[in-house]
Structures are given as structure tokens and as C-alpha cells.
Amino acid sequence: MKLRTRLQLSVTAITAAALLASFVPLYVLVDAAETRDLDHALFRHAYVAAQRLPATYDLAHPLDAGQVRVPESLEPTTRYLAVYDAAGGVLASSASFAGHAPSLADLGLRDVAWEGEAIDLNLKDIALRGVVMPVPGRNEYFLYAASQRTIVDDMQLLVRLLLLLFVLGTLVTSLVARWLGERLAGDVHAIARVARGVAEGDLNARVKHAAAGSDETRALASDLDHMISQLGALVESQRTFISHAAHELRSPLATLLGELQLALRRPRSDDEYRRSLEAMRADVEALVRLAEDLLLLARLQASSAHPQERTPIDAVIAEGLRMARGRAEERNIQIRVTGLEAAAGAQVQAVRGELARVLRNLIDNAIAHSPVAGEVEVAIAVLGRELELVVTDTGPGVAPEDRPHIFAPFYRGLKDAPEGQVGAGLGLSIARTIARGAGGELTLDESHTRGARFIVRLPLA
């Protein structure tokens, strides 16, 4: 069943049930109220009429019927009177009964309460409402009745009115529900159409304003458009990643192939072959490092499990410094560590080797951008339930146009690039991925102007 049809039937059924649930009690209450008003009027008139009954009765001379005004009646209505003895037999009746006044037994009354009884009775095709009460000072009972025509007419009119309201209410609700269902179904179809387009590879498909039937569908359309944008950005980043990876692999492979072709072009001496092999080994080592970095980055990005290993920060600092010491000595860079005593004994939930790789990458980056014989500072601090590692260099800093991209794989800024810098531009991307995998974050402090400052924040174990 279609959504709009299901919605139309459901809303119409609920509306019909609600109208019935409200109309039936209304009908009962109105009928009871009008009957109660008629009973009160009949009791009042019956009490007055009972006071005026003759002392003796002659069946040949019926009681004076007369007329009475009852509630909701514009014209006076005929009265129906009868007097009964203690046994319930008819002593006298009005001419309106035409000699066919019912006995108390016919009325279903055995005992009449002192305050009287209200009853329904039918005289041929006339529906009557009457009251039976004891005659004051006599061992007799008095029936005072009048036509219920006003109540019957009112209730028939009420039924017709309620039926008309029921039909109109149900019809209007059904039409409105169908209109809403079509709008909602139109939104769903628009969203589904875009989803199918994306599934077929069209990442430019957007819902935009095609779904505007409700706040919820607009929000869903906006979320879907945002998801498609993110998916498109992810696909584009993967394409860029593959393109850069292929470029980074092609350069050393092309160099290696050229050296092999050159080495095989003519016979050479052992020393010449050795020199060629040494050059080729450097290219192969670069390829190995690049392959290892690519595999590490892919593994880190694919893993969603949080490391369960507890690692002392002292061991991480020591291993990171040990790995970075060689490059620092090459450029005569001094690495100054501060705050280690205050953070002694602190532990983080991360893999020791991976966290040391983060520190080494940051220190290597700082060394590469610092002037010869400069200084790199590594500051450690415990801030509440968080550990902060800050690596600061005294180089030219990160250019404003490079800041949004420095954590992207293979990105290397063109300005202020250090002379002789090597690498594929994966260091900062790997470092941030490791930090996030440990529940932390790696950021660039853009407010720092004297060099570059990178901040690693990790939750304490």
C-alpha cells in the first residue's frame, strides 16, 4: 500500500472514530437533558392538576383533558390524564385517551414511589411521556402525560445535523490527509530519486528544495545533501590520494629504471657498478619507506578500535627523542624538553610505538624547518584529565595559505620549504590519524607567530 493511501486511510479512520466517540455521548446527553426538563414540567403540572381532581368520578363524563405547555414546544399540547385506584384499575381518564387508558399493570408499575415515577407509553402511534404520582389525601394514583413529539423532532434534527457534520468532517479530513500524503510522498520520492542517482554514481545529485513538505523532510534532505557532499569530498580525496601516491611511486621508480638502463648500457668496472648499486639502493629505500608509510596510513584509517594499551609518557618521550636524534645531530639542532618531571608517571591509552612515531614526525618536521644550530622545544603538561605535548620550532612557520592543507596526505607547502627536504608529505597526516585513533587530536597553533607550534592532546588513561 502506498504511503499516501495508508496515511489517508489512517487519518480518516481516526477522525471518524473520534467524531463517533464525541457524537454518541452528545446525543445521549441532549436526549437526557430534554427528557429531564419535560419530566420536571410534567411533575409540576401533575401536582397542580391532582389538587383539582373531583371528589367522585363518572366514567360517562371523562376528565377535562385540556392542553399544557411543555419545554421546547411552541404550541400547547394535549394532556393525557388518568386516575387509578389502589389496585391499579382505571377510575377515570380524559377524552384524549378515547376510553383506552392503560392500567398501572399495563404501564409496568407495581408500586409507585411517593415522589412519583416518570414513564414512557404509546397510544396507538403517539409517543407519550408521563408521570404517575400518588394523589395527596387519597388512596389513588394520577397519570399526567403529554406528547414527546418535541423531543423526538429535536433528536431527529440533532441526528441529521450530527450525521452531516460526521460526513463533512470525515470527507474534509480525508481530502486534507490525501493532500498531506501526496506532499509527504513527493518529498520521499524526491529523496529516493537522489539516493538512486548517488547509488548509480552521480555524486552531483542534490535534493535541495525538492523536499519542502515538512520540517522533518527538509532536515532529511539537507542531511542527505550534506552526506553526498561529504561522500563526494571523500571520493575526491581518495582519487587525489591515489594520484599522489602514484606520482610519489613513479618518481623513484623512474629514477631507478634510468639508473638500471644507464648501468646496463655498457660494461663498467666493479667500483662503477658499486656506485650505481648504492644509488639504486637509496631509491629502493625511499620506495620502501613510502610503501611502509602508505600501509601504516591505510591501516590507521581503517581501524576504528581504540587502543587498550597503557603507555607511560616517559617511555614515549624517550623513544621519540631517540628516533629523532640522528637528524638533529645532522643539522646541529638542540632539542629541549620541558615539563617531563611534572608529567612523570602519567599514562595514555595508546600504542607506544605509534605515539612515539607521532612525536618523531613532529620533531623531524620541526628540525627540517629550523635554522642550522637552532632549537626545538618539546613541552609536556598535564591539564586536568588530558596530556598535552607541544612541539615548537624557530623556523619561518606555516604560511596562511598552507594551514588548511598541511594535514592532508602528500601535501607539501611550496613557500619556505627547507632546502633538501625529503619525504612524501605523509608525516603530519599519519601523526594526526594516530592521535585521533587514541582519542586525542593534533592541531596547529595558528596564534603562534615565531615558528610553528603543533599541539597533541591525549586523554589520560
Residue 192 lies in a domain: no
Taking the C-alpha atoms of 105, 108, 112 and 113 in order, what is their torsion angle to the nearest 10 degrees?
A: 170
3-state secondary structure of 61: strand
Does residue 384 share a domain with residue 279?
A: no
The CATH number of the domain where 357 resides is what?
Answer: 3.30.565.10
pLDDT score for 308? 64
> Nearest-CA neighbor of 337 among 326, 350, 324, 347?
324
Does residue 401 share a domain with residue 287?
A: no
Residue 177 lies in a domain: no
Rounded Cα gap, residues 454 and 457, in angstroms = 10
- In Å, the largest CA–CA distance within the chain is 161
H-type helices in 200-269, by residue range? Answer: 215-265
Task: Look up residue 284 and give its DSSP letter.
Answer: H
Assigned C-alpha cell, 274: 658499486
Residue 328 lies in a domain: yes
Geometric angle at alpha carbon 328, from 325 and 334, rounded to 5°: 105
The CATH number of the domain where 275 resides is what?
Answer: 1.10.287
Q: In DSSP terms, which residues pair with 444 in a beta bridge?
A: 454
pLDDT of the chain, 461 residues: tens digit per residue: 777 788 888 889 999 999 999 999 999 999 999 899 988 999 999 898 888 888 888 766 788 777 777 776 657 888 899 999 888 888 888 888 888 889 898 888 888 888 888 999 988 888 899 999 999 888 889 999 998 888 888 889 999 999 999 999 999 999 988 888 887 778 888 888 888 888 888 888 888 877 776 777 888 888 888 888 888 877 776 776 676 667 667 777 777 777 787 777 777 787 877 877 887 887 787 777 777 777 777 776 666 656 667 888 888 888 888 888 888 888 899 999 998 887 788 888 888 888 888 898 899 889 988 888 889 999 999 888 899 999 999 888 888 888 888 888 777 665 545 544 555 677 888 888 888 888 889 999 988 888 899 999 999 88
pLDDT score for 167? 93
Domains identified in the chain, total number: 3
Does residue 16 share a domain with residue 97?
A: yes
Domain boundary among 273, 301, 329: 301
Q: Please, what is the angle between helix 270-302 and helix 427-437, to 10°?
A: 30
Residue 323 lies in a domain: yes
Range of the domain at 11: 3-156
Domain boundary among 301, 323, 344: 301
Neighbour tally for 90: CB within 10 Å:
20
Give the position of cell 409517543: 127
Rounded Cα gap, residues 393 and 346, in angstroms = 25
Name the strand (E) or helix (H) holding 390.
strand 386-392
pLDDT score for 413? 66
Q: 0.75 cut: is pTM over it?
A: no
pLDDT score for 74? 57
Cβ within 8 Å of residue 249, ≥6 positions away: 287, 290
For the chain, give the number of residues.
Answer: 461
